[in-house]
Structure 1
Amino acid sequence: MYLQRYAMDRSSQFADVTQLAVVGDPWLDESVRRPTASFASQDLDRQAGNARNQLLSALAERVGIFFFYSSDCAMCEAQVPIMKMAQRDFKVVPISLDGKDLPSAPFSDVKADSGHAEMLGVEQLPAIYLASPDGQFAPIAQGAIALNEMRERMIIAARKAGWVTEEEFNKTRPILNLEDNLSEVLPMDALGSAASEGETNFIPPAELLNIINHTTQGN
């Protein structure tokens, strides 16, 4: 029991020291990126939500959605209402792998697959891809997916494909001061010099701390 008490006290002591170190340091204080006050975090969420809507509207003018399905796929039928909602903003191209419509015949312009599914590596249905007029594709999902998640993935996929800029992408995230990212601001030449030889490129903690202090404090 004494050992347990000791461990608990040490844990509490560590938590107190950590709190003292974090307060007032913009590199460590997470509230600098995400406010803890509910009114501030809610406002940040609202701004990010507006930015997402604007970015998706702009994206809809540049790319469309390929919706792969087969007529005997129950999950494909279940996905239809989501695709209908997406169709309010995006041009949705329904592509049937067996050349037939779904039982509910939800689409008026069904296209038979002409090799796109194999080219894109479609393994599961329904499959959803973003498609640009110049023949570029970005995978969104293979399997049924909810609208909100699909919208989030579309933004991520568009960033990976280079259809939106990093600045546009960052505005959709409910986080502030993304430039205060230690993994990006630490000089690569200093990290390379401090790394040990070998496959691991291990950097001794003391060396890494010196680099961090020099970068963040300008010493």
Structure 2
Amino acid sequence: MRSRLFSATVACTALATMTSAVTAQQADRLGYYDKSREGWFWYQDPPEKKEPEEDITVPPPLMPAPEEPEAQDTEMPPATVATTPQMPAVGSVEFLREAMPKALDIATDNPTRENVERYLILQKMAIDKSEMFSEMSKMVSTGHPLLDEGRRRPKQDTFAKKLEEEAEVKKREVLSEFFKRNALIMFLDNRCSGCAMMAENFYRMQQTHGLVWQSISLDGTLLPDNLSSNQSFNAGIAERLGVDAGGAVFIASPPSTYIPVTWNPTGGAEIADRILLVAARSGLITDEVFRQTQAINPMIGSAPTVKEQELPPILQAADQFIKPEAITINGMENNQ
């Protein structure tokens, strides 16, 4: 059975091959005239070969390129070159100002002969320089019309004492005239151990200068009658003037001005000088009259003045803070 099927298959294959060969031979025998339908052209264009269509793909829209940031000035500052500070000239004042403290520290921490000797030599150099400067200062100022202080006060005691005697006479005259228009008020209490001594000084000034004064007791304490016959008790004036302890002295200038002279017991010579200073500051005596009471001649020449500038903000704030608490020393009005 299998042999039959195989024989049939072989036969079909041979038949198909023979048929294809006959068809090819017949096509070759067709002559030129048999192909007249194809035209009289010498050459027949072969059929055009269609090229494969290109795959045209539309590219996606281009995104705008990001803007580059503007170039900034990135120049580096010039590098600072570390320089060694230049040492001052050896032996100069600047050199001694820097060397002496260091030499002293080293000599104190380690007091060897070399360390101590080093410091003492440097110290002597400074002292010698100061002495040389002092000698030259005397040489320059002696007889100089502006620098010679002998024009203001003699250096020899005899002549200086003579100037002081003349000033004391002038003080007595000025104070005697001053007490014709003004008086003193002294506050006392039992805690003021020096008030009695100060009252004795006022009693003597009453005899020599024509002083007019009154004592006011804060707690009922009174002075002996032989020292003061004009005594009173506090009726509120001490509180208005800020007095809370004995020893305070005020100038009483009519009609109702009180000026502090001292807040504690003060000797007779000092209290007289204070009265003159406060009177000149308050305008109760002129500057010229005040200078006549001093044992020194007026200043030669004048010091330059600088135009006052606007206060910095911190001082303006300070003024606002302290002014409510400040006491006007030029005069305190009594509202009584």
Q: TM-score, normalised by structure 1?
A: 0.76
Q: Over aligned residue pairs, what C-alpha RMSD do you find? A: 2.6
Asked if 1:61 corresponds to 2:189, the answer is no
**Partner of 2:287 in structure 1?**
166
Could you say if the C-alpha distance between residues 17 and 125 of structure 1 is closer, same or farther in structure 2, counting changes exceeding 3 Å?
same
Q: Any conservation in 1 of the 2:203–2:228 contact (CA below 8 Å)? A: no
Contact kept, 8 Å, 1:60 with 1:90, in 2: the verdict is yes
1:154-193 equivalences in 2 (<5 Å): 154-178=275-299, 180-183=300-303, 186=304, 188=305, 191=306
Aligned to 2:235: 114
Aligned match of 1:95 in 195, 216, 220? 216
1:141-189 per-position Cα deviation (integer Å, ceiling 9, x unaligned): 12211111111111111111211000000001111132x2542xx2x4x
Aligned residue for 2:187, secondary structure, equals strand
Quick one: structure 1 residues 38 and 126, their matched pair in 2 at CA, closer, same or farther if it must change by over 3 Å?
Answer: closer
Residue in structure 2 matched with residue 149 of structure 1 by the alignment: 270
| Equivalent residue, structure 1, for 2:249 | 128
* Equivalent residue for 2:156, pick from 34, 37, 50: 37
The structure-2 alpha-carbon separation of the partners of 1:17 and 1:63, relative to structure 1 and needing over 3 Å to count, comes to same
- Inter-partner Cα distance in structure 1 for 2:263 and 2:311: 40
Gaps of 5+ in 2: 1-119, 313-336
Residues 61-102 of structure 1 show CA distances to partners (whole Å, capped at 9, x for unaligned) of: 01011111125643333433223223332111121123x242
The structure that is helix-richer by fraction is 1
Moved more, 36-45 or 46-55: 36-45
Query: What amino acid does structure 2 have at the position aligned with 1:151?
Result: A
1:212 matched to which residue of 2? none
What is the deviation of 1:8? 3.2
Tell me the CA shift for residue 119 of structure 1.
1.6
The 8 Å contact of residues 250 and 259 in structure 2, kept in 1 or not, is answered as yes
Q: Which one is further off, 27-36 or 163-172?
A: 27-36
Of 114, 138, 141, which aligns to 1:19? 138
Question: Does structure 1 conserve the Cα–Cα contact (< 8 Å) formed by 2:222 and 2:231?
Answer: no
Q: Which is worse superposed, 118-127 or 47-56?
A: 118-127
Structure 1: gaps (5+ residues): 200-219
Percentage identity across paired residues of the two chains? 26
Q: Secondary structure at the match of 2:294?
A: coil
Give the Cα–Cα distance (whole angstroms) in 1 for the partners of residues 223 and 127 of structure 2. Answer: 62
Larger Rg: 2
SS in 2 for 1:124: coil
> Partners of 2:121 and 2:262 in 1: how far apart?
53
Three-state SS of the structure 1 residue aligned to 2:256 is coil
Q: Please name the residue that 1:215 is paired with.
A: none
**Distance in 2 between the 1:78 and 1:198 partners?**
45
- The answer to which of 66-75 and 16-25 deviates more is 66-75
The structural deviation recorded for 1:104 is 3.8
Conservation of the 8 A alpha-carbon contact between 2:191 and 2:246: no
| Contact 2:213/2:230, CA 8 A, preserved across alignment | no
Question: What letter corresponds to residue 39 of structure 1 in structure 2?
Answer: T
Moved runs in structure 1, 4+ residues, more than 4 A? none
Which shows bigger deviation, 165-174 or 140-149?
140-149
1:123–1:142: 8 Å Cα contact kept in structure 2?
Answer: no
Q: TM-score, normalised by structure 2?
A: 0.51
Flag the 1:198–1:155 CA change in 2: closer, same or farther, 3 A: closer
SS at match of 1:87: helix
- Judge conservation of contact 1:72–1:102 (CA < 8 Å) in 2: no
Q: Which secondary structure does the structure 1 equivalent of 2:194 belong to?
A: helix
State which drifts further: 155-164 or 64-73. Answer: 64-73
